[in-house]
Amino acid sequence: MIEVTTEVTARTNTEPWYAGTKNLINRELRYERSAMYWIQQLLIWTFLANGFVVLFLSLPADMIAEVLPLPQDTFSLLMFFNMLVLLFSIFIPVLLQGIVIDEKLSGTAAWILSKPVSKKAYLLSKLTAGILAIMGVSVVIQGVIAYGIFIGYGYTLNIPGFLMNLGLTGILVAYIASLTVMIGTLTTSRGKVLAVAIGLTLGSQIVARFFPLVLFLIPCSLPLAGLGLVTGDSVLGLDWMLLSASVQTVMFVLISLFVFDRTEL
Amino acid sequence: MTESQENPKESESHAAIEIHGLSKAFGDFYAVKGLSLQVPRNTVFAFLGPNGAGKTTTIKLLLGLTRPTSGGGTILGHDLTMENKRIRSRVGYMAQNQQYSQNMTPRQILRFAARFFYQVDSDQLESKINRVLHLAGLDRMADRKTKGFSGGERQRLGIAQALINDPDLLILDEPAAGLDPQGREDVLDLMQSLRSRATIFYSTHILDDAQRVSDRVAILNKGSLVASAPLSELLAGAEGTVYAVTIRGNPQRARDLITGQPWVNSVQTMEQNGRTKWLVSVRDETVAEEELLRLILRDRSLSVCEFGMKKYELEEIFLRLVEDDRSDN
């Protein structure tokens, strides 16, 4: 006969809706992807975002001026944030497309939700962990590297302005991540999540060339609009774009929670 | 003191699971239809049914992972729909073919599961994790990533994580499916050993296993319950006591004699390799025990090759009930 434990260990209070959130976030950040995966991500983001900064800062200034009549550091900074926006539009939907769908289909969501944890805590943990991980790799680390590169080339960036614009970039991460997760709660098709999320974010930037007001509806150009915070130029419409991004992010999260709460696992 | 001891409501309930008229429809299709079930505490309850019978849907309804279309009930004295989180804090669940993160070791998975129930990172918790790993036979692979685990190892891990909260009710979805004979044996032993301290409700299609470890059995077919009874009652058969007799020779005279006895219900005849096999269903077991063989042997031209009380196998009962249900529909 196998011995069975009867010892009583102190139990946690499982009643609040947020019970288990820390445990879930910890799992997402530490175990869902291997260390090698994050190293690869870091290298890719660094190569694509900061590789171009190095390139543009290394080019002769008159060559830059032929493309855009901007000082070399401003042009390089613009390219840095431009590249981040472009990468977010593609990489965030790619990275997060499966965080809800995969676990729904594999039965992991059902397994976790058979523990005393609410659907709200489950979904918010996944979203929070996703945003934190992406912000860490693509905003914080890339920001630090970019700042170092500018210093290395003899340019001093306006630190408060640069930090504020990185903050706006972080809000954009949250915006695209919550949009992707929301679409993930509405469908079980990874393809649809990718198509809608990438279509909206990239499409809006193309459409905005003809109808600039789209930038307020789909505020993917938030870090570009905030570039003036670093350079000292005017930041026209930034407050409205920020409001739009914040309101929509909250809305996407609420819709995700509403839909997921009614999802049968 | 455990939570169940603290809660008077819970201790009042004698049944671990008590559901009434539980239904789940997906559009026009009913996966579970008007299911009423009572699972007494500290029993091993087998939930049988062919593929697609609605077993997994029922389990998901019990855990609140899916909402019932109608009906309800209580689990460990808590309302199925209103107090679902309380239910989940006292239940251990192992899903069918559960996949675990390949970057985690069994110890990390158990720690993750345990943190939903217990205050984190105490020595007591770690020793509990060690005990559960030992219990499930996972000691040697406790710190190996689950990538490359065999089906049997994953199944053990599934049971281990379900046991981490010392559950009052253990719900296992096909716990022995896909295991080799030794693995199955281990899982059944484990279930036997847990019988004294938890109610075990498990779905299976392996009828031998169900017959070996279960106290009670329910059979589900096309979402409806076709039988629910203690195993012994179900194995006794619906016709009362049945004797199986195999004879050689012309059986007609003896058959007429037996059929005419007031304590005989019916005689079913089958021909097998030049021999005749009777299944004699009787009303009075005591009289039959004394008289049946004597009556047959009155015809001296007959020789009796086999005589005994027929023992039904669960598989036989299962197939017959499912078949009857099919023809009724």
Summarised one tens digit per residue, pLDDT across range B19-28 is: 999 999 999 9
Q: What is the pLDDT of residue A9?
A: 66
Beta bridge partner(s), residue B78: B75
Q: Do A9 and B108 touch (CB under 8 A)?
A: no
pLDDT of residue B100: 87
Selected residue with higher pLDDT from B262 and B310: B262
Q: Where are the beta strands (DSSP E) in chain B?
A: 15-26, 29-40, 44-48, 70-75, 78-79, 91-94, 169-173, 199-204, 216-221, 224-230, 241-248, 264-272, 275-282, 303-309
Comparing B10 with B140, which gets the higher pLDDT?
B140
pLDDT (tens digit per residue) in B108-160: 999 999 999 987 667 888 999 999 999 888 999 999 999 888 888 888 899 99
Report in angstroms the alpha-carbon separations of B175 from B41, B181, B328. Answer: 20, 13, 31
A235-246: average pLDDT: 91
Cβ of B23: how many Cβ atoms within 10 Å?
Answer: 18
B258-309, pLDDT tens digit by residue? 999 999 988 888 887 889 999 888 888 888 888 999 999 988 888 999 998 8
What's the rounded Cα separation, in Å, for the pair A224 and A230? 11
Per-residue model confidence (pLDDT) at position A234: 85
Q: How do beta strands B241-248 and B303-309 pair?
A: antiparallel
Instruction: Say if residue A1's pLDDT is above 50.
Output: no
The neighbour count for residue B91, using CB atoms within 10 Å, is 28
Question: How many residue contacts between A and B have a Cβ separation below 8 Å?
Answer: 116
* Chain B residues near residue A2 by CB distance under 8 angstroms: 135, 189-190, 193
Residue of B93, B103, B119 with shortest CB distance to A31: B103
The confidence score (pLDDT) of residue A67 equals: 82
The answer to whether B115 contacts chain A (CB < 8 Å) is yes
Say which residue, A176 or B311, is predicted with more confidence: A176
A117 — contact with chain B (CB < 8 Å)?
A: yes
| pLDDT tens digits, B85-106 | 999 999 999 998 888 888 899 9
| Alpha-carbon torsion angle A230, A94, A180, A41, nearest 10 | -50
Half-sphere exposure of B279 (CA within 13 A, CB side): 12
Say what the pLDDT of residue B326 is: 65
Contact A14 B125 (CB under 8 A): no
DSSP conformation class of A18: T
Structural contact between residues B200 and B191, judged by C-beta atoms closer than 8 angstroms:
yes
Find chain A residues with C-beta within 8 A of B139's C-beta: none
Is B3 a residue whose pLDDT tops 80? no
- What pLDDT is recorded for position B8? 47
Cα-based distances in Å from A82 to A48, A87, A141, B104, B221: 11, 9, 17, 37, 60
In Å, how far from its chain's centre is CA B310?
A: 22
CA distance A115 to chain B (A): 5
Q: Is residue B7 scored above 60 in pLDDT?
A: no
Q: What are phi and psi of A37, to 5 degrees?
A: -60, -45
Q: Which one has a higher pLDDT value, B21 or B328?
A: B21
- For A18, phi and psi rounded to 5 degrees? -90, 0
Q: How does DSSP classify residue B141?
A: G
The interface predicted TM-score of the complex, written ipTM, equals 0.86
Q: Which residues of B touch A10 (CB under 8 A)?
A: 118-119, 122, 124
* Verdict on whether the full-model pTM lies above 0.90: no
Could you give the angle at the alpha carbon of B312 between the alpha carbons of B311 and B316, nearest 5°?
155
> DSSP for A166-190?
HHHHHHHHHHHHHHHHHHHHH-S-H
Task: Write down the mean pLDDT value for chain A.
Answer: 90
- For the stretch A179-211, pLDDT in tens is 999 999 998 888 999 899 888 888 888 888 888
Q: Which residues pair with B173 in a beta bridge?
A: B203
Pairing of strands B169-173, B199-204: parallel
Mean pLDDT of chain B: 86
Q: Are B223 and B33 in contact (CB under 8 A)?
A: yes
**What strands, in cross-sheet order, belong to the sheet with B91-94?**
B91-94, B169-173, B199-204, B44-48, B216-221, B224-230
Does residue B174 or residue B232 have the better pLDDT? B174
pLDDT of A24 strictly over 80: yes
Span A36-62, average pLDDT:
92
